[in-house]
């Protein structure tokens, strides 16, 4: 049972209607058909990647436009509260004139309601309910009365009756100053995250969102886009991230997300020029290369000896196929032939990359028997959890991204049952098996093929095809390292 070709295409192919015409790809999104990339004169297969990339761009723009419409709706819901603040502020100015005390009252109302409540809610696209708006409008009036007693002063009417004059403040009053031009940096960040989600995955988009939230939290309120992404601001943030007690790869990712956001904003003409710190390739964190972590043979024997059922199957798929949790969760029936015991697929992480090989892996008898015993009968995925849902899932719920990982939980329970001090890191099974192959002179060349990595040089990419027979011998040898083979 080989992998169906149709499974690779996420667009629908429209055949040419007349001789001489070109076909085109299409996709239905939110009830409407789109035709990314236009006519595919180069043919179905050759045009797919070009049209897919164009669709990802189109999808990001559609979602960004939806974000804009949503923003207007949110602003309208908060308008009654904002108007209440402005009315009370104007009433204070009219009652007392422009005095130092009046400005303190005005600024206190601005800070408490506009800066701390309204603007953050709008940035987070939180709609104000009718009851919320009414409550806050009452709160504005009550706060103004409290502030007037704290910053006591005589009203204009008193000075008119006594012939005195209030103490006037100096400088331009805040209510007459030109309002800062809204930077829209939070909305642009949301649009960027939406584009990452369209081009990559929900998990990747959520990681980028967290990185950008960390960056935006360091900026003063109402910081403009140009100032936020200036070399000076970025350099300060870079030094701050480097000083944090984090592993270097985490620091690298935090900086990379901000760099990608700046590049995205520049390419879409939201930013006039790319910061020189980025142009000079100095806005980055060097990652310290850590030694590959593997399990010793005695550890593998101990863990396999304690594992049974699903946990044992997961471990064997890691050792036998180099699978990660995502690979196990994404395994499709169309990729598995249980009669011959062969899995043929690309890695889930790089499934859309043309340079990545589709690897045929023959399952060890120990792996195959467990896979047959646990394979689902319904649906597309081979392995599901007890509720019939994917083993590993990243989904949006209530405005938050939720992650579940049944494989990691199974390893945690196995560790507890073993009374083992160290965690059982699942990806280490993959690196252990690859490293074992790498230690064998004859099979060393197949370690990268086992991992499903793209060829590392031109010759391997275009002229050398790995021997399937030799690869199967390598896998049989690998099995002998963990099982008594007769």
Residue 3: count of CB within 10 angstroms of its CB: 18
Query: What is the number of other CB atoms lying within 10 angstroms of the CB of residue 30?
Result: 9
In angstroms, the CA 140 to CA 105 distance is: 11
* Neighbouring C-beta atoms of residue 325, cutoff 10 Å: 21
Look up the pTM and report it.
0.55
Domain 297-480 sits in CATH 3.50.50.60: no
Q: Tokens in use for 118?
A: 């309204």
Rounded to 10 degrees, the C-alpha dihedral 27/32/37/43 comes to: 40
Q: What CA–CA distance (Å, rounded) separates 266 from 216? A: 18
> What pLDDT does 296 receive?
93
Residues 405, 390: Cα–Cα separation, whole Å: 9
The DSSP secondary structure of 147-185, one letter per residue, reads HHHHT----HHHHHHHT-------S--GGGSPPPPP--H
Rounded average pLDDT over 294-319 = 95
User: Which residues touch 341 (CB under 8 Å, ≥6 apart)?
Assistant: 362, 363, 365, 368
Q: What is the mean pLDDT of residues 82-109?
A: 92
User: What pLDDT was estimated at residue 433?
Assistant: 93
Instruction: Please state the domain extents for the chain.
Output: 1-168, 185-279, 297-480
Helix (H) or strand (E) holding 23: strand 23-29
What are 390's strand-pairing partners?
Answer: 384
**Closest-CA residue to 157 (of 96, 106, 107):** 96
The secondary structure of residue 119, as a DSSP letter, is: H
pLDDT-derived band at 437 (thresholds 50, 70, 90) equals very high
pLDDT over 90, % of the chain? 49
pLDDT tens per residue across span 30-85 = 888 999 988 998 889 889 988 988 888 888 778 777 766 777 788 888 989 999 99
Average pLDDT over residues 404-417: 94
Burial 157-180 (b: 16+ CB within 10 A, else e): eeeeeeeeebeebeeeeebeeeee
Structure-token pair, residue 96: 């007392």
Q: How many alpha carbons lie under 13 Å from residue 396 in its C-beta half-sphere?
A: 8
Separation CA 449–CA 436 (nearest Å): 13
Start-to-end C-alpha separation, the chain: 29
């Amino acid at each position: 049972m080989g992998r169906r070709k149709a499974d690779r295409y996420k667009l629908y192919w429209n055949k040419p209607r007349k001789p001489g015409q070109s076909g085109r790809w299409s996709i239905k999104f939110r009830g409407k058909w789109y035709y990314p990339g236009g006519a595919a004169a180069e043919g179905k297969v050759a045009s797919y990647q070009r049209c897919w990339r164009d669709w990802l761009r189109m999808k990001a723009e559609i979602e960004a436009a939806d974000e804009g419409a949503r923003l207007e709706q949110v602003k309208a819901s908060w308008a009654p509260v904002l108007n209440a603040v402005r009315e009370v502020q104007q009433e204070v100015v009219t009652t007392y004139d422009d005095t130092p005390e009046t400005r303190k009252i005005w600024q206190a109302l601005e800070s408490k309601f506009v800066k701390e409540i309204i603007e953050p809610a709008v940035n987070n696209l939180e709609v104000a309910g009718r009851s919320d708006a009414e409550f806050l409008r009452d709160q504005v009036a009550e706060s103004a009365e409290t502030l007037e007693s704290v910053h006591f002063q005589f009203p204009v009417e008193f000075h008119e009756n006594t012939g005195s004059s209030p103490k006037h403040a100096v400088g331009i009053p805040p209510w007459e100053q030109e309002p800062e031009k809204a930077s829209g940096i939070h909305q642009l960040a949301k649009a960027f995250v939406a584009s990452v989600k369209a081009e990559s995955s929900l998990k990747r988009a959520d990681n980028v969102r967290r990185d950008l939230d960390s960056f935006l939290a360091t900026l003063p309120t109402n910081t403009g886009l140009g100032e936020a992404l200036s070399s000076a601001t970025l350099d300060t943030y870079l030094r701050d991230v480097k000083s944090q007690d984090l592993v270097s790869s985490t620091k690298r990712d935090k900086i990379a997300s901000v760099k990608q956001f700046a590049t995205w904003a520049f390419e879409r003409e939201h930013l006039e020029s790319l910061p020189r710190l980025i142009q000079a390739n100095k806005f980055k964190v060097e990652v310290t290369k850590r030694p590959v972590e593997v399990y010793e043979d005695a550890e593998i024997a101990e863990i396999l000896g304690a594992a049974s059922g699903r946990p044992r199957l997961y471990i064997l798929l890691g050792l036998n196929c180099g699978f990660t949790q995502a690979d196990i969760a994404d395994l499709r029936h169309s990729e598995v032939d249980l009669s011959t015991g062969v899995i043929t697929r690309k890695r889930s992480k790089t499934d859309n990359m043309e340079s990545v090989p589709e690897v045929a892996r023959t399952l060890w008898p120990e792996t195959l028997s467990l896979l047959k015993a646990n394979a689902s009968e319904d649906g597309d995925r081979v392995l599901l959890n007890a509720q019939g849902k994917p083993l590993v899932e990243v989904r949006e719920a209530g405005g938050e991204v939720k992650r579940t990982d049944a494989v990691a939980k199974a390893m945690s329970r196995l560790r507890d049952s073993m009374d083992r001090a160290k965690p059982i890191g699942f990806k280490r099974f993959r690196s252990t098996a690859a490293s074992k192959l790498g230690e064998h002179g004859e099979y060393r060349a197949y370690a990268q093929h086992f991992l499903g990595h793209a060829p590392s040089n031109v010759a391997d990419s275009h002229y050398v095809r790995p021997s399937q027979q030799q690869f199967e011998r390598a896998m049989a040898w690998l099995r002998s390292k963990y099982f008594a083979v007769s």
